[in-house]
Structure 1
Amino acid sequence: MAEFDLNDLEKISRSEEIIDLLVSKGIIKEKKFLKQLDYEKELNQLQYEMLRLQEFLITNKKKLLIIYEGRDAAGKGGTISRTIAKLNPKHFRVTALPKPTEIETQQWYFQRYIQQLPKQEEIVFFDRSWYNRAVVEPVFGFCTPEQHESFMSQVNLLEHLLIDDGVILIKFFLNISKEEQASRLADRQEDEMKQYKIGGLDKLAQEKWDDYTKYIDKMLKETSTEKSPWIEIKTDDKKEARLETMKYILNHVSGFKKSK
């Protein structure tokens, strides 16, 4: 085994280098740690490329909107947090709108979301979006059938107008198996550090699984267009899902070229 001292620690500038060092010194050899090392290295490279993409958008005065939808506990927040980790905070926003106010319920449904759209040189990440009305609201009776159908008839046109006006739009649907969702929801209940993630509707996610499935299938079928497709990502493996979403973003912004 190679010698290990404090001078080695002083050379570490990134988290993934810790595992790299321990492997090189022969301190850890287990496959799970080597797999973690591979993940950390790929994640770091993709985060670097995301920073380059942000610089490309700024230089070319472009606007990028990324929508993250998915079942409860599918990993939307964790995926977004890894994606933005190394971005310049002056040129991106994460938007997770709360329950609409009484005034907002009297406005055109899309109005409060339109106010959150990206400006030139900006990336906006929607942690849930106007698609609440496609799935969550009809599942729990928060909208009428007429309001749901009105949304479904308008959303494709709205997105096409945004794209025609120069907004780069990417839509992810993060999917998860029923068994994995049950496991993650139980973990949230037991882990004090994850208590903040528990919402009132999360407790009914399993009970309403079939109702969710009905509206999710309808949404994916009717609102995935050639101009504005849904990109479905399986998230039972959270780490792989995070990498896949970043790879898709980097490969689908016209004119941007990765360094590798």
Structure 2
Amino acid sequence: MEKTDDALLQRMHHDLIDSFDEELELELDDRALEAYAGEGGGVFDAEHKAARRLYFRELFRLQGELVKLQDWVVSSRHKVVILFEGRDAAGKGGVIKRITQRLNPRVCRVAALPAPNDRERTQWYFQRYVSHLPAAGEMVLFDRSWYNRAGVERVMGFCTDEQYEEFFRSVPEFERMLVRSGIQVIKYWFSISDEEQHSRFLGRIQDPLKQWKLSPMDLESRRRWEDYTKAKEVMLERTHIPEAPWWVVQAVDKKKARLNCIHHLLGQMPYEATEHPAIELPKRERHEDYQRQPVPQDIIVPEIY
């Protein structure tokens, strides 16, 4: 029995290490070229290693708090919408990935809507977003949102001046209506510099695993940097309301931006640890007449690895 317990503990330890590896894979997915310095492509120096250890330690801690937040949202039947806006390559997807990584997708889900189709263009502007709003006990993270009209649609000429002005007349009332209905609205703008976006775009061009992130619209946005800046300034000025204020995340350093955003998000809700009944694994039933049938060999995935 003792050997069995030791084997189980060892298995649990390996599973824990695997979960850490998943987080490291996310970092590798970022193609962290800063891991190599100098002509010879050296490894991290001591200071950089310490910073990485701090980052992962804080990320795991904050993700543990997000699990507590999730439990509180479910038990309190809270409803929350979190909008993530910012320039292309500002890091919105990265922070969303870290927020949702260890959460239940039935409780915390992501809405990333494509460009509207012909039918949706004839609807009330907010209509296609409404169906994604949360029910009680849910969190919805919008990877871009109805603020597309104030940004890309304005800069690229996809809406008329009349539609643009109507958006600014409507959006404060729309968000106040959401808040009155019991939906908390939290809005983040991820801010990066001209030089940082340029660097990240070049990185995507050179990285075959990330080239899919570069659309013709993204490349055009690079050329129209100043137009996007003006549109962003107008948007923040005209839609920063007490019921749903904007929060600006300094995002030139991606890792710091993730930690700062998650830490701030946790402070926006009065969550507390939720008590759960003790979990006891039931004993598996065994029947003498049960016999497991063999799996046909022709449907088994080849074990290449």
TM over 0.5: yes
2:102 to 76, 86, 95: 86
SS of equivalent to 2:223: coil
Compute the displacement of 1:15 (Å): 2.0
Q: Which amino acid aligns with 2:124?
A: W
Q: 1:33 to 1:139 in 2, by over 3 A?
A: same
Indicate the residue corresponding to 2:271 in structure 1: 256
Indicate the residue corresponding to 1:15 in structure 2: 20
1:234 to 241, 247, 250: 250
Does residue 171 (structure 1) correspond to residue 176 (structure 2)? The answer is: no
| Inter-partner Cα distance in structure 1 for 2:247 and 2:273 | 20
Indicate the residue corresponding to 2:277 in structure 1: none
* Offset from partner CA, 1:175-197 (integer Å, 9 cap, x none): 10000000000110110111121
Contact 1:50 1:87 in 2 (8 A): yes
* Offset from partner CA, 1:156-178 (integer Å, 9 cap, x none): 11101101111011100001000
Indicate the residue corresponding to 2:287 in structure 1: none
Q: Which amino acid aligns with 2:20?
A: S
2:230 to 200, 214, 217: 214
Compute the displacement of 1:55 (Å): 0.5
Q: 1:31 to 1:155 in 2, by over 3 A?
A: same
2:136 to 112, 120, 125: 120
SS of equivalent to 1:134: coil
* Offset from partner CA, 1:2-48 (integer Å, 9 cap, x none): xxxxx9x85953428x99xxxxxxxx871111110000000001111
Task: Calculate the aligned-residue CA RMSD, in Å.
Answer: 2.1
Unaligned runs of 5+ in 1: 1-6, 20-27
Moved more, 87-96 or 70-79: 87-96
Identical-residue share of aligned pairs (%): 41
Indicate the residue corresponding to 1:205 in structure 2: 221
Contact 1:250 1:258 in 2 (8 A): no
Instruction: Work out the number of aligned pairs and report it.
Output: 243
Q: TM-score, normalised by structure 2?
A: 0.76
Indicate the residue corresponding to 1:36 in structure 2: 52
| Inter-partner Cα distance in structure 1 for 2:272 and 2:105 | 22
Contact 1:74 1:235 in 2 (8 A): yes
Task: Specify the structure having the higher radius of gyration (Cα).
Answer: 2
SS of equivalent to 2:210: helix
Q: TM-score, normalised by structure 1?
A: 0.89
Indicate the residue corresponding to 1:64 in structure 2: 80
Compute the displacement of 1:51 (Å): 0.9
Unaligned runs of 5+ in 2: 1-9, 25-43, 275-305
